[in-house]
Structures are given as structure tokens and as C-alpha cells.
Amino acid sequence: MSTLADTAIEILRENDRGTYTVPTKGLYPFQWNWDSCLTALGQHHFDEDRAWREIETLFDNQWPCGMVPHIVFHQMDDGYFPGPQVWATGRPVPTSGITQPPVAGFSLKRLFDRAKDTALAEARVKALLPKVAKWHRWFYETRDPRGEGLVAIIHPWEAGRDNSIDWDEPFERVPTEGITPYVRRDTQHANPAHRPTKEQYDRYLWLVEHFRGLGWDTSKLHDASPFQVVDPGFNAILIRSCADLADLADHLGEAELARENRQFAEKGIAAMETLWSEPHGQYLCRDRTRETLVDSASVGGLLAAFCAIPTDRAAAIARTIDNHGTWFRVASHPPQDSRFDAKRYWRGPVWLVINYMIADGLRRAGEVDAAAKITASSLDLIRESGFAEYYDPMTGEPLGGGRFTWTAAMVLEFLSMEQ
């Protein structure tokens, strides 16, 4: 009988396209940004060289301005919508025109710290370091125009939590008139009841067409977007990556990059306080177009634990997760909220990548039991339901795509932590 680790490696190999890995066959046939950076952690357990390559391929497709796109369309495939013709970004290898959670800095440090082949690791990090630093600089220059220390996303897909309840209210400000008629592909691969709605898709598309109309000039898009949301989870990932990159830069004698990234991280941590909600016991999103906090206690506000928030905040987050009372942790939305939907994508289901980052942050903050419970729950899900895209937090039912790449990568990570 094959072990969980064997199956995880088999899935990572099956979805490997040589220099990048697809999230799963059919539903997602290209390279996704944060999927790749987290997938590399799994690959590193059995092939160090291949793990570095995964991240390098992504950065080969970095835009001259510094942005790293959320999808790289390496090979044509009509199984996915919106494809390269809709984005029309004019890149040599076609890409989308928005970004995704910048977890690369964190992944680089983790790969580096664990490397058996240190000479190989130093050479690979040295080449990637300035590219990741350029991406971080791009964020603070284009997505934090007032220098608050926190960046905004301008499309829900950037958060990686596509249809979270967090976006419902800010999305009301995004029109749908005039969009080109389209046919969705995702609902041909997965159950439509577990995916975003048509109304949400219309708004996703309106934003894409609006940005395309501005020639994908990333210096203009933030101010021109009716959707500008400061997501605590997204910012925590950026802050953690800045701090990790600063450590790596110090190690490699890149003092200026270290100073710059440490400053981003310190300013960011201080600014995170403005997103804290005492009644919810967690952080919340801020709608930047209104300067109001969004009343939605999603997992984005728990993911904030991934960066070095104060320890009392981390302890409160651990309690909030306990209060969800779900059988499996961590629900992407609390079941106590009437908008919770146990099976619909980011409106309730559990995602292993999110579990991994929350557990990692809580452990660092000293919340060792809370981290261990998340790890155990994640592995229980795999044993009971296999390597799915996401899971019902009440029943553990596997949902979305199957034989999922980043789920497999996280399993290798969780197993190595248990040892």
C-alpha cells in the first residue's frame, strides 16, 4: 500500500510540465503564481533542483515594472476561461495582468534554510533575490499610493480567495454593464454549486476589461479601480515575505535590499493594527474606496497570523478558530455567519494552503497547540477524503478539482512537521 507521502509525490509528478506545475488537470491547465511558490516547498522534499526551477519559471515571466502575474499561459488550452485573448497583455509568453499573494520571499527562505546542497541554494537565491525585491517594491509603489504600509488588491482573484464573503460589499461598486458575452469553463469541470456565481463572474470580467482598456499600465490601475481592498491575509503574506527576504539578503551581503525589505515589514506590521477588530477577535479587510472595515470575519483575517503580529493577537486568533466549532479546521468563513456556505469555494470550505500558513504563523507566535490541531485536522482530511482542492469543514467532503498539486505539496510539508 502506498503511503500518503508516496501519493503526494505521485500527484506532484503527474502535474509537472517540466519547468512548471499545473494546479490540476482540466480545471487549471497553466501556471499559477502562489500555487507554484507553495508547490516548490513540496517538490523540495524529493527534488531540490526542480523546486528552484518552479519559482524561476514564474520569475522569468515577471513584467518589466516588477509585477509577477497571477497566471502564465505557457501552452494554449481552451479548457480555461478567461484565456490569453481576453487578457491581451501583450507579453512574450502570454500572462494575466493582475497579481497574486506574494509568497515567493517566504518560500525562498524556507527552501534555502532546508537545502542539503547549500552551494546550489546560494546560487539560486542570489539570482532570484533582486527579482523578488523588485516585486515587493512594485507593490508598495503602485498599491499603497498614500504610503500607509498596507497594499490593496484591485481584483478578488489577486487575493487568491476568489469569491470570499469579504468582497460582497465592495463588489457592489463594480458594474457589469457592457461586458463581452462569454462562456465559463470552470463549471464544466466542477460542480457549479461549489463555484462562484454568474453575478460574481460578470464583475470579475468587468474589472479585467476595464484594466485592459487602460493598456495594463500597472501604475494607473489602482486609482482607476472601483475595487480597492486592503486584505489582512494578503498583506501578512507580503510582510512575511519582506521579512524573510531581508534575512536572506543579509546572509548574502545585500545590505541595501535587506534594509529596504525590513522597513517594509516593520511599517506593515504596525499598520496591520488598523485592521484589528476586537469584537471579531481577528483582523478584517478595509474597503479603501470608503475607508471602512468590511464586516466579514473570513479566514483572510486569521491568515494575518502568518506575519509577526503581536502575541496577544495570535492568541486571540487561536481562540477564534476554536470558536468556529467545525469538525475540520480552518473554515474559510465562520459557520455562525448566515452567509457561510460549507461547499462554495472560499465561502466556508477548508483549504490546506491556508491551514499551512496559519499553522506556521501560530507556531512561531508560541501557539503550539493551536498549530498542532490545524496540522492534525489537515492530515485527517487527506486520509478521509483524498487530495482535493478544498473540503467541507463540517463533513470533510472533498470538493472542486481532484489530485490537486498544492494540496499534495502541503501534505509533504505537514508530514515533515509531524516527525
Active site residues: 162, 389
CB of 82 to ligand GLC, least distance (A): 12
Question: What is the distance between the alpha carbons of residues 39 and 35, in angstroms, rounded to a whole number?
Answer: 6
Measured from the CB of residue 368, what is the shortest distance to ligand GLC in angstroms? 28
- Distance from C-alpha of 406 to C-alpha of 116, rounded to nearest angstrom: 23
The position carrying cell 498614500 is 146
The least distance separating ligand GLC from the CB of residue 33, rounded to whole angstroms, comes to 7
User: Shortest gap between Cβ of 130 and ligand GLC (angstroms)?
Assistant: 25
Whether 298 and 161 have beta carbons less than 8 Å apart is answered as yes
d(CA 152, CA 231): 7
Measured between alpha carbons, how far is 151 from 86 in angstroms, rounded to an integer?
26
**Beta-bridge partner residues of 24:** 28
* 35 binds ligand GLC, rule: CB under 6 A: yes
Q: CA–CA separation, 35 vs 223, rounded Å?
A: 28
Query: Which stretch, 28-36, 55-63, 88-96, 407-415, contacts ligand GLC (CB under 6 A)?
Result: 28-36
What the block records as the C-alpha cell of 262 is 525590513
Nearer Cβ to ligand GLC, position 28 or 264? 28
Question: Residue 136: beta bridge partners?
Answer: none
Candidates 31-39, 199-207, 236-244, 289-297 — which segment interacts with ligand GLC by CB under 6 A?
A: 31-39
Mask for 119-148, x = binds ligand GLC (CB under 6 A): ------------------------------
Backbone angles phi, psi at 390, to 5 degrees: -155, 170
Restricting to residues 149-178, which ones interact with ligand GLC according to CB under 6 A?
Answer: 160, 162
Q: Which helix (H) or strand (E) holds 286?
A: strand 286-287
Nearer to ligand GLC, 350 or 365 (CB): 350
**Would you tell me the crossing angle of helices 405-418 and 4-14 to the nearest 10 degrees?**
150
Closer residue to ligand GLC, CB minimum distance, 23 or 97: 23
CB 206 within 8 A of CB 179: yes
Q: Which amino acid is present at 134?
A: K
- Residue 111: name the closest of 99, 129, 138 by CA: 129
Of the candidates 156, 160, 168, the one whose C-alpha atom is nearest the C-alpha of residue 337 is 168
- Bridge partners (DSSP) of residue 28 are 24
The binder of ligand GLC chosen from 11, 23, 111, 167 (CB under 6 A): 23
The label of the residue with cell 519559482 reads: 55
Judged by beta carbon, residue 142 or residue 407, the one nearer ligand GLC is 407
Of 12, 15, 32, 304, the residue at the interface with ligand GLC (CB under 6 A) is 32
Nearer to ligand GLC, 170 or 401 (CB): 401
Stretch that binds ligand GLC, among 29-37, 127-135, 165-173, 322-330 (CB under 6 A): 29-37
We find the least distance from the C-beta atom of residue 134 to ligand GLC, in angstroms, to be 22
Which residue lies nearer to ligand GLC by CB, 54 or 162? 162
Residue 53-92 contact track with ligand GLC, rule CB under 6 A, x = bound: ----------------------------------------
CA 37 vs CA 9, 85, 110, 132: distances in Å: 16, 26, 11, 12
Closest residue to ligand GLC using C-beta atoms: 160
| Sign of the alpha-carbon torsion through 234, 43, 123, 117 | positive
Q: Looking at 27-35, 224-232, 269-277, 391-399, which segment touches ligand GLC (CB under 6 A)?
A: 27-35
200 vs 282, beta carbon nearer ligand GLC = 200
Given the rule CB under 6 A, which residues bind ligand GLC? 23, 28, 32, 34-35, 160, 162
